[in-house]
Structure 1
Amino acid sequence: MKTTNQQELIEKLNSHRMWIETIGEKGEKLGVDEIDFRHIDLSGYPLDQAYLTECAFDGMNLEHMDMSSSLLCSSSFTNTNVVNTDFYKADLSYVNFTNADSRGARFAKADLSEAVCTNTNLTNAMLISSSLYFTDFRNANMNYADVSSASFEGTLLHGANLTGLRGIEDAFIKSINTGTPEQPNILVGGEAIKWLQDKSLSKE
């Protein structure tokens, strides 16, 4: 992580807020890389439409934060509270959500390709039309999450709680991995759909 002057970062956040509020007429769009945000109070700062690559948000409280349409690839949200956070149309490829609390979060139309969501609480999360290519959901809690029109390919689901998973019949399911990366168990097409449907009906 880069060491950044905290005051300088606050000025950039204020400038981004101005940019959002004036629809780009004033201020400047936020674009930072490899910044550690863990010691910054982000309440009151909109983070939508920002470039925040390889940044650290671990253990923070980002509940109800608007991070829609932002580029967040390779950033880290381990043990982070992102309950009801808005990631609509965000680029979340390679993001680490391990142990994050993302109940009710909106991931609609987000790119979660190769994101790590192990042990993540995704209860009631909206994954509508999201890209789940090789996304790692091992041991995640996906109770009543909505995957309508989401795209599955190589999606890791070993140990995931899928009770009440919604939208399976509308999802684009090419393949899922019910094993591990080291010992994969790939299910394709109809077989994958049946496995997901059976899991969604199970009481865990």
Structure 2
Amino acid sequence: MTMQDTKNKTILYADYSERNIRSAKDAIDPLGFFDFIHCDSREKTVELVNSLKPDIVLVGLYLDGMRGISTIRSIRESVTTTNRHGENVIILLGAPKLDRRAMRDAVDAGIEGIFRQPIDPARLRKIITSVMQKPRRFVLKEDYFGPARAQDLPKEDADQDKASRTVSASITLKPNTRRRVDKTRTPNPTSPADGQNGQTFDEAELAGIPKDDLDSLKERSIKAAIAARELLKPDPVPQKAKPKSQPKPKSQAKAKPTPEQPEAKGPDARPKPARASRKAAPEVEAKIAVEVEPEIDAKELVAIDLQEALVGHKLWVDTGGKEGAAMSIEHADLRDADLEGIDLSRCGLRFASFKNANCKNAMLRRCDLTAADFVDSNLESANLAASRLSGARFHKATLRNTVFLGSDLSNANFNGMHFLNCDFSGTNLAGADFRDADLTSVNGLFAEQIQRARVNANTRLPHNLKLRD
């Protein structure tokens, strides 16, 4: 795509972060778009899409709180009989990182691409150029998350119905898809059942059906036959043993089963690899648990309008509680949030998830963060002094120049963590897990603190810990 191709095109960027908007504009300017428009709310974004009809829309994940994805969904659902631009416009989602649940939500909303925030200008230009040349809805199938491939796209109707494209982007084919029958035709009563030898049709049934529909029928027929063959393959794991009334050969009756080879029952019984399979199953599950980020139940976390909550909380802090409202939300969903430099002093965010959040230089003094999840978060130079952090998790978090002065860290999990110039003065460490942690550069950690912590039998400390008197 050249500048000549974009000179009459418009791009819309929706994000509340001025820094992100500036970075996006600097990255996009060399592409030569006719106009670069930005806004910071869901309603304005939907309105501009339908009135100005931009050629491509970029939406930040945190627009309107944590759910820029819901803005994309609103754009797709804003179509009318006279204006269907929101259905077909190219939409890219900007995010620091997406877990599997967010990937699924983005696919369901209908996106054509992802770009990383903070923005890499060269990378963003490359993504925009590629997507505009060949726009394809993203799909999430097994371990693939990206533009729809040929095998991901079933034959679509000529009018490119939105509902059909949404289904094709979000549903993984299963063997029982062979039972999905096109309602526009009547199956041949004499034909074999779907999924056995493939559905067949006589000439009368096919008369008047458009060519595209005929191709679709043939494709479904082939898929049905393949699925049927898979289902009819013999099961490698034996089924239930035959009834006791069936006699056993004497050679088998006297044989004793070994731990490796269980006793075979019945003359036609095959060697049983079942035990080996059952032993292998936990290993497979463990591998999946490591490679695929565990999903968090949506019912446990509360999506919040982050921008509104921050404005209200800042006003509450600045006026000494006379105006605004303190941020006090249990199970708040702050995953991937950009909280750099934000003042959240005296907030109440029990059981909140700060997973992958950027909390660099954040002010979290005197907060109730009981059992909060800081896994993979950036807490460089963050101030968590005098806060309740009992049961909080910090696995893989960045802890550099982080202040925990006087905080309650009882039962917190710092397993395997590396601390660089962090302040632990006056902290309560009872029951905390510091196994395999590197505390050599921690400040304010004295023998008296450790002695009090060791009274709790659950306290775990590094073996080579050296203390100051």
TM-score over 0.5 for the alignment?
yes
**How many positions carry a matched residue from both structures?**
163
Shift of 1:128: 0.4
Higher Rg of the two aligned structures: 2
Residue number in structure 2 paired with 1:9: 306
SS across alignment from 2:315: helix
Q: Name which of structure 1's ranges 89-98 and 14-23 shifts more when overlaid on structure 2.
A: 14-23
The answer for unaligned runs of 5 or more in structure 2 is 1-299
Which stretch shows the higher mean deviation, 138-147 or 47-56? 138-147
Q: Paired residue for 2:407? A: 110
Question: After TM superposition, which residue ranges in structure 1, 4 or more long, deviate above 6 angstroms?
Answer: none
Matches within 5 A, 1:114-193: 114-146=411-443, 147-148=445-446, 150=449, 151-153=452-454, 154=456, 155-158=459-462, 162=465, 168-169=468-469
| Native 8 Å contact 1:70 1:91 kept in 2 | yes
Aligned equivalents of 1:39, 1:81: Cα separation in 2: 10
- Structure-2 separation of matches of 1:61 and 1:3: 19
Q: Residues 395 and 416 of structure 2 are in contact (CA less than 8 Å); yes or no, is this contact kept in structure 1?
A: yes
1:80-123 Cα deviation digits (max 9, x unpaired): 11111111000000000112111221111000000000122222
State the Cα distance separating 1:44 from its structure 2 match.
5.0
Does the CA contact (< 8 Å) of 1:93 and 1:112 recur in 2?
Answer: yes
Higher mean alpha-carbon deviation, 43-52 vs 126-135, is at 43-52
Q: Residue 349 of structure 2: SS of its match in structure 1?
A: strand
Tell me, which stretches of 5 or more residues in structure 1 are unaligned? 170-204
Give the Cα–Cα distance (whole angstroms) in 1 for the partners of residues 360 and 336 of structure 2. 16
1:64 to partner: Cα distance:
1.2
TM-score with structure 1 length normalisation? 0.73
- The 5 A counterparts of 1:85-96 are 85-96=382-393
The one of the two structures with greater contact order (alpha-carbon pairs below 8 A, sep at least 6) is: 1
State the one-letter code of the partner of 1:25.
Answer: K
Deviates more, 1:9-18 or 1:125-134: 9-18
Residue number in structure 2 paired with 1:197: none
Paired with 2:412 and 2:370, the residues of 1 have a C-alpha distance of 9
Change over 3 Å in CA distance of 1:89–1:42 after alignment to 2: same
1:74: how far off? 0.6
Residues 77 and 95 in structure 1, CA contact (< 8 A), matched pair in contact too: yes
- Secondary structure of the structure 1 residue equivalent to 2:313: helix
1:45 is displaced (CA, Å) by 3.1
- Secondary structure at the aligned position of 1:57 is classed as coil
| RMSD, aligned α-carbons | 1.9
Query: Does the aligned pair in 1 maintain the 2:336–2:355 contact within 8 Å?
Result: no
Would you say the 8 A contact 2:409–2:427 is kept in 1? yes
Residue identity opposite 2:453 in structure 1 = F
Pair 33,109 (structure 1): closer, same or farther in 2 beyond 3 Å? same
Measure the CA separation in 1 of the matches of 2:320 and 2:343.
Answer: 13
2-structure distance, mates of 1:39, 1:122: 22
Counterpart in 1 of 2:326?
29
Change in Cα spacing, 1:39 to 1:82, as seen in structure 2 (3 Å) is: closer
**Secondary structure, counterpart of 1:122 in structure 2:** strand
> Secondary structure of the residue that 1:145 maps to in structure 2?
strand
Q: Helix, strand or coil for the counterpart of 1:11?
A: helix
- Supply the AA of the counterpart residue of 1:157: L
Whichever residue aligns with residue 156 of structure 1, its letter is: R
Q: Distance in 2 between matches of 1:39 and 1:80?
A: 8
Query: Displacement of 1:39 after TM fit?
Result: 4.2
Would you tell me which structure has more helix in proportion to its own residues?
2
Structure 2 CA distance for partners of 1:53 and 1:64, relative to 1, 3 Å: same
* Separation of aligned partners in 1, 2:341 and 2:379: 15
Percent identity between the aligned chains?
A: 25
Residue 12 of structure 1: CA displacement?
A: 1.8
User: Counterpart of 2:370?
Assistant: 73
**TM norm structure 2:** 0.33
Report the Cα offset of residue 21 of structure 1: 1.3
Query: CA separation in 2, counterparts of 1:69 and 1:88?
Result: 6
Q: Secondary structure of the residue that 1:116 maps to in structure 2?
A: coil
Which segment drifts farther, 89-98 or 136-145? 136-145
Equivalent residue number for residue 337 of structure 2: 40
